[in-house]
A and B are shown apart, each in its own frame.
Chain A
Amino acid sequence: MKLNLLVMLMLLHPISVYAEDIWLIVGASDPTPTGIAHKWKVLGNDSGIVVKSSDCGDSKDVFAWVPKLATSIERARSSLRAVKRSVQDAYVKKCRVQPRSLLAFRETAVDISIADIPATAVNWEDADRVTTVQPLKNSWHIVISRYYEGDLEDPLEGRRERVILVGEGGERHSLEQCVEPGMFATDEGMLAFQCTVAQAGDEVLHNVVVYTMGGQKTKEVMHCRNPAFRGKRTIICESEVVGADGVLKLQKVKRNF
């Protein structure tokens, strides 16, 4: 009886929650995001993705550059032969893909542009070099893709983040470039979040943006944080004002969209 109930519950869940077996053709590995980006750049023109070994359930977190992946061992062997023509040390690794991981969405954990960050950059942390994924309600996910947009005159030294909305069926909507995206809120086919946009003394200011789940931007509220939906066409957030004393004052505001 219990088993039947379990099977029924599993059938009711979206397919993406299940582990999936695939075969990775590994071209190189490295414990650091910088290291794997450099190896990828040297070995692999633009092809493939970087996989975090934890996305295959490994306890150690190592990055692997995977020029090809296959859904069967036969295809993996065939791909390996092709890859070995340019990367002699390549090998096949079987992977049980962790549901809701970057690999489950076939998103690279490290962007190849990370290899281009100059050694003289001082404000890059390892966390700034790695793409992450987080769940929303109803099996939707947000991928925050982190990359380098080459310009050391930039106050962020070229640190960039892009918000990608991934739907239940795996469909993707690239939303916008956003510094430190956060405070994601969803309601009835709508998504809101905040981006950090400016410095004001000891505080940072944000903008709140509202999107449809189809990836269409419908509202932007300047200098506001902590968005939440109130009803079908209304959002509330806290407006931000910093006075000459440097003190941040927050006030709840309501905006229609």
Chain B
Amino acid sequence: MVHLVDSVGENGKNHALDVLRVQSLLRSKGYRIPPGGGICGNDTLTAINQFQASFLPQPTGLIEPYSLSLLKLTDDIHVDYEWSGDSSKWSQEQKLKSLNTEFKFKVVALLSKLQESGFLPFIFYGWRSVAVQSILYSSGRSQVKFSFHNAQREDGTPNSYAADIIDSRFGWTHQAETSGFWSALGSAANTHGLVWGGNWSSFRDVAHVQLLPNSLLYNVKQESGL
């Protein structure tokens, strides 16, 4: 189930991130809600009521964390939400689709270049949710709470400025280094004006490429409504 920090809807707490998540889920079910920067307006309230009317005799207009309404918004029977599930397990096409448009073109070119060089490039991560990032951070498996991987559009859909690219034969094993894959990735990233995490000295991330310099992380977080 999608995690909400607090309630969304009629007299709800309506935290921006929660509102964006609920709006995104409602859209995936065909409700038309224009972008609103995380504001719970009349369109959202109407959509919540209409949605609840399909299974509640008296709609409350409120989606609460861990509630039946949220469950029905997200479970497999009631929703086919494009961006749900473990994003590291998505198809390559969906991972590419989760990237920022300008970045995606560069990644496609970079993948072609690596293929031409005899490698089998594979996007391990395009976008990943803030919720997943938070789990990685709190379990000590990431050094950052927010990264370019977590960027999203105003409506809460993925807009990642970063991707982790490996050779599908090697992953992060020693062979990736000895085969020259990491240096080829770094060189291709440089050709396309991307930042490569293998150049970082304080903390290396050899599979990581991103569109923007690290100093713009704050702007991307703001742009993502987070």
Are B171's CB and A154's CB within 8 A? no
Are A154's CB and B200's CB within 8 A? yes
CB of B185 to closest CB in A, whole Å: 14
Bound Cα distance A154, B174 (Å): 25
A156 interfacial contact with B, CB 8 Å: yes
CB < 8 Å: which of A153, A179, A200 contacts B207? A200
Given A121-B218, A201-B172, A246-B124, do A155 and B200 touch, yes or no (CB 8 Å)?
Answer: yes
CB < 8 Å: which of A152, A199, A243 contacts B143? A199
Given A153-B213, A201-B124, A203-B141, do A243 and B203 touch, yes or no (CB 8 Å)?
Answer: no
Chain B interface helix/strand/loop/mixed: loop
List which A235-252 residues lie within 8 A (CB) of chain B: 241-246
CB < 8 Å: which of A125, A155, A197, A245 contacts B171? A245
List which A172-215 residues lie within 8 A (CB) of chain B: 179-180, 196-205
CB of B20 to closest CB in A, whole Å: 18
Are B204's CB and A197's CB within 8 A? yes
Bound Cα distance A121, B218 (Å): 7
CB of A140 to closest CB in B, whole Å: 25
Closest to A204 in B: B141
Bound Cα distance A43, B172 (Å): 49
Q: Give the residues in chain A near B221, CB-CB below 8 Å.
A: 122
Closest to B166 in A: A244
Q: Give the residues in chain B near A153, CB-CB below 8 Å.
A: 213-215
A107 interfacial contact with B, CB 8 Å: no
Are B170's CB and A204's CB within 8 A? no
Bound Cα distance A242, B206 (Å): 13
Bound Cα distance A196, B203 (Å): 8
Bound Cα distance A202, B143 (Å): 11
Bound Cα distance A202, B200 (Å): 18
B145 interfacial contact with A, CB 8 Å: yes
List which B105-144 residues lie within 8 A (CB) of chain A: 122, 124-125, 136, 140-144
Are B140's CB and A123's CB within 8 A? no
Bound Cα distance A160, B202 (Å): 9
Are A201's CB and B88's CB within 8 A? yes
CB < 8 Å: which of B170, B203, B213, B218 contacts A156? B203
CB of B126 to closest CB in A, whole Å: 13
Given A122-B221, A244-B168, do A156 and B141 touch, yes or no (CB 8 Å)?
Answer: no
A120 interfacial contact with B, CB 8 Å: yes
List which B159-214 residues lie within 8 A (CB) of chain A: 164, 166-174, 197, 200, 202-208, 213-214
How many A-B contacts if CB must be within 8 Å? Answer: 101
Q: Give the residues in chain A near B202, CB-CB below 8 Å.
A: 154-156, 160, 179
Given A199-B205, A201-B125, do A122 and B172 touch, yes or no (CB 8 Å)?
Answer: no
Bound Cα distance A121, B141 (Å): 20
Given A154-B214, A242-B171, do A199 and B124 touch, yes or no (CB 8 Å)?
Answer: no
Given A197-B204, A198-B203, A202-B88, do A157 and B214 touch, yes or no (CB 8 Å)?
Answer: yes
CB < 8 Å: which of B88, B167, B173, B208 contacts A199? B208
Bound Cα distance A160, B221 (Å): 22
Q: Which of B88, B146, B217 gathers most chain A CB within 10 Å?
A: B217
Are A197's CB and B203's CB within 8 A? yes
Q: Which of A154, A197, A205 gathers most chain B CB within 10 Å?
A: A154
CB of B91 to closest CB in A, whole Å: 15
Are A152's CB and B215's CB within 8 A? yes
Are A204's CB and B140's CB within 8 A? yes
Are A122's CB and B168's CB within 8 A? no
Closest to A245 in B: B171
Are A196's CB and B215's CB within 8 A? no
Closest to B213 in A: A153
Are A122's CB and B166's CB within 8 A? no
Q: Give the residues in chain A near B206, CB-CB below 8 Å.
A: 198
Closest to B143 in A: A156
New contact pairs (14) apart from A123-B146, A155-B144, A200-B172, CB-CB < 8 Å: A120-B215, A122-B217, A155-B143, A155-B214, A196-B143, A201-B88, A201-B124, A201-B172, A202-B88, A204-B141, A242-B173, A244-B122, A244-B168, A246-B171
**Can you spell out 25 A-B residue pairs with CB atoms less than 8 angstroms apart?**
A122-B217, A122-B221, A153-B214, A153-B215, A155-B202, A180-B143, A197-B203, A197-B204, A199-B143, A200-B172, A201-B166, A201-B172, A202-B88, A202-B141, A203-B141, A204-B141, A204-B143, A242-B172, A242-B173, A243-B173, A244-B122, A244-B166, A244-B170, A245-B171, A246-B171
